[in-house]
A and B are shown apart, each in its own frame.
Chain A
Amino acid sequence: MTQIILSGLLLGGIYSIVSYGLTLVFGVIRIINFAHGSLLMVGMFFAYYLTKTLNINVYLTLLIVVPCMFLFGYVIQKYLISHVLNEPIMQLFLTFGLLLLLENVALAITRGDYFSLNLNMSTVKIGDAVMDWARMIIFLASILIAVILMVFLHFTNIGIKIRAVSQNRYAAKLIGIKLERIYPLTFGLGCAVLGIASVLLVPVYTIFPHVGFSFVIVAFAVVVLGGLGSIPGVLVGGMIIGLLESLTGYLLSPDLKQLTWYIIFIAVLLFKPAGIFGVVGSEEVGLK
């Protein structure tokens, strides 16, 4: 049972780390970003490509992938999404179009091949339970990212502006915060965090154009469960879903595990739509 719980927590770390970017974008800019999984895929392919071509340790690619993903996100927001900020239906079309574009470009380039790194990292034993370093690193990184993001959002000038915009974009505008600067920065930040996730996931998963699909639905569930825009919500929500999956898979059946969190997802939407850490009313599109 120790193994099941530890595996669940490690899985929770994976779910959290892919969800931070989504909660930033979803919580602040109020965009339902269908392309979140595809951006993860792009980051993973990029990290894989750099590892192979530069012949370096995959974790070193963070230095290149993260800034590039920031720029990519910044550009997407500034030149695409900014044009549909007040048109929710168009936002869906746009991010869905982006998903199709990114996945099909990846398909055209890779011809649907699978890519994976065989790192075979060492493991750590805790009693009878075994944990591998690749997942431990993701778990630790997910906690570290939560702390850094919290500090950034609460104690830096830009962070405070981002929070102000997420709470009331019109009031924020009235007091002189430039939305046209905050939105691209937030989207870029979301993509940069997703870039960290991409690199850390490469040693664990096989990369192919649809790899993001395994994570994007669960990422939405994590964000809704934790509360829109809430960083600690993502950490806790990820852990809850990871543990639930692990326990259901082991105690009931692995083919039922996703059903369990789908039910929780719907139950949260029905009974506590703001999520665990969300501000009541924040689930309404754009607080104000």
Chain B
Amino acid sequence: MVLKKTRWKIITFFLLSVALLFIGCGSNTTSSSQEPQEQQTSDDSNASADDVIKIGVIQPFSGPNAKAGEETYKGNELAVDEINADGGINGKKVVLVKGDATNAQQAISEVERLITEEKVDILTGTYLSAVAYAGTQVAFKNNVLWWETNALAPDITQQGYDNVIRIGMNDNTIASVAINAIKDVVAPALGKDVSDLKVVIVHEQNIYGTSIGQKEEEQLTALGTTVLNRIPYDPAAADLTDVVNKAREGNPDILLRTGYINDGILLYKTMRELGWKPSVIMGVSDESTYLLEGLGAETLEGILSICYPQYDMSENYAPGVRDFVQKYKEKYNTDPIMPQTLVSYGGTKILFDILKEVDSTDVQKIREKALQMDVPIGGTYPTGFGVKLDPKTLDNTRAYPVLAQWQDGKVVTIYPKEAVEGDKGIKLPLAGW
């Protein structure tokens, strides 16, 4: 009996250890990926703290979004390689320090660690909005700049913090591009006036989907377009038949969707099974290759996606985008797989432009300089983003996504027209499933 108990204890211990090992695999990933960064630091081992600018990058380097976190980080890394090869920022080298956070609790402890132990000058990120939201609170208490390049949730910049600048896209710019695209390219392609269009909005029920869905509804109503229904749904639901049945009521011309990947696949599969396909389907971030695997090119053909700037944008609109792809290939031996990498790269380049001018990491100086910036959309940065901050929220009002369409199994940028390479254009209405 005693032996049995001992054996059991050993097994339990082993089981828990293995579980902990895998839970902690994120930190292993982080430390292994920190090797180049440590090398960077050792290159500058003779340099004093005043000769480097330390930027903390908060991303989910472990857990279900580890891949996305790592890919987003690569954008920072490439921007840093570039600036350091160019002599740094006014002679100061830039060093990145990783912070692994998959949820709000980890974000708080990692941001604290980066500020107090690593003594970072600036923080940046993030693939996950929930991580950014929690992280900004700690950054605010410590008066460290939070330079947000990727997270989309509106509440990140609605906390009244003057140290949080979002240079990337937000719910406002996403909804604006969706509605502008409907007005400029979708309605003409359907041969209808915007006031004759009927739209249904379907979105996941949390703040991300709701804020975009509400803004789309407001802007469409202002245009005189009929919004038949706005339907929130649980992205973890096992069935979305009710959503589809509700959405098809009134026979809308356009379905607008904001959600995630797995619920997107389920929604479109359900629509396909029920045999309902409106003339236009426009989703947010529906350009994911996971959708291609789950639904196939035939089903996706013609579906529109409001998305992060894509790699096929014209060089005039997004100068440096081809060069970025080349550098990515050289460093990582593969093509870039996510647009988020380009967005963090572009956002980091804007930060470096400001740092060069202010020659300081002081939050107030950076904020003032950022507020003064007035860069038009297209023609300056590899994302095509312009820069004009909203003085209230410090959101970049010119960080516009693009509209892309699935054509023959590929994602093709089709709007704004300045971003379109060659003679690519929108193809509507959608054929049946």
The residues of A with any CB-CB pair to B shorter than 8 Å are: 3-4, 7, 10-11, 14-15, 79-80, 83, 94, 97-98, 100-101, 104-105, 107-108, 111-118, 120, 123, 130-132, 135, 204-206, 208-211, 213-215, 218, 242, 245-246, 248-250, 253-255, 257-258
Q: Which residues of B contact A257 (CB under 8 A)?
A: 234, 237, 242
B15 CB → nearest A CB, Å: 6
Which of the candidate stretches B63-71, B93-101, B161-169, B376-384 sits at the interface with the other chain? B63-71
A123 lies within 8 A of B273 (CB): yes
B8 contact from A83, A131, A206, Cβ within 8 A = A83
Q: Which residues of B contact A213 (CB under 8 A)?
A: 236
Known: A11-B238, A107-B22, A123-B275. A254 touches B261 (CB 8 A): no
A249 lies within 8 A of B266 (CB): no
The residues of B with any CB-CB pair to A shorter than 8 Å are: 4, 8, 11-12, 15-16, 18-19, 22-23, 25, 63-68, 205, 231-234, 236-243, 245-246, 261-262, 265-266, 269, 272-275, 290, 293-296, 299
Q: Which residues of B contact A101 (CB under 8 A)?
A: 15, 18-19, 22
B232 lies within 8 A of A253 (CB): yes
A116 lies within 8 A of B16 (CB): no
A79 to B233 Cα, complex, angstroms: 42
Known: A80-B11, A100-B23, A253-B231. A245 touches B294 (CB 8 A): no
Known: A100-B23, A118-B293, A206-B266. A255 touches B234 (CB 8 A): yes
A183 CB → nearest B CB, Å: 16
B64 lies within 8 A of A107 (CB): yes
A130 contact from B67, B274, B299, Cβ within 8 A = B274
B238 contact from A15, A80, A98, Cβ within 8 A = A15
A117 to B296 Cα, complex, angstroms: 9
Known: A250-B242, A254-B231. A108 touches B25 (CB 8 A): yes
Q: Which residues of B contact A107 (CB under 8 A)?
A: 22, 25, 63-64, 66
Chain B: CB-nearest residue to A101: B19
Q: Which residues of B contact A100 (CB under 8 A)?
A: 19, 22-23
A141 to B195 Cα, complex, angstroms: 49
B230 CB → nearest A CB, Å: 10
Q: Which residues of A contact B269 (CB under 8 A)?
A: 204
B66 lies within 8 A of A116 (CB): no
A96 CB → nearest B CB, Å: 9
B17 CB → nearest A CB, Å: 10
Q: Which residues of A contact B16 (CB under 8 A)?
A: 97
Q: A83-B8, A255-B205 are in contact. List 17 more A-B contacts (CB 8 A).
A: A7-B242, A11-B241, A80-B11, A94-B15, A97-B19, A104-B25, A112-B67, A114-B293, A115-B293, A131-B273, A204-B266, A204-B269, A245-B239, A246-B241, A248-B242, A249-B243, A253-B231
B229 CB → nearest A CB, Å: 10
Q: Which residues of B contact A215 (CB under 8 A)?
A: 238
A79 to B68 Cα, complex, angstroms: 37
B294 lies within 8 A of A114 (CB): yes
Q: Which residues of B contact A135 (CB under 8 A)?
A: 273
Chain A: CB-nearest residue to B68: A112
Q: Which residues of B contact A117 (CB under 8 A)?
A: 294
Known: A254-B240, A255-B232, A255-B233. A120 touches B63 (CB 8 A): no
A203 to B355 Cα, complex, angstroms: 52
A254 lies within 8 A of B275 (CB): no
A148 to B81 Cα, complex, angstroms: 64
A254 lies within 8 A of B243 (CB): yes
A19 CB → nearest B CB, Å: 12
Q: Which residues of A contact B296 (CB under 8 A)?
A: 118, 120
Known: A116-B294, A132-B273, A246-B241. A79 touches B11 (CB 8 A): yes
Q: Which residues of B contact A10 (CB under 8 A)?
A: 241
A108 lies within 8 A of B22 (CB): yes
A204 to B240 Cα, complex, angstroms: 12
Chain B: CB-nearest residue to A205: B266
| Residue contacts A-B, CB under 8 angstroms, 10 given | A4-B241, A83-B8, A112-B63, A120-B272, A120-B296, A204-B269, A215-B238, A250-B246, A254-B233, A255-B233
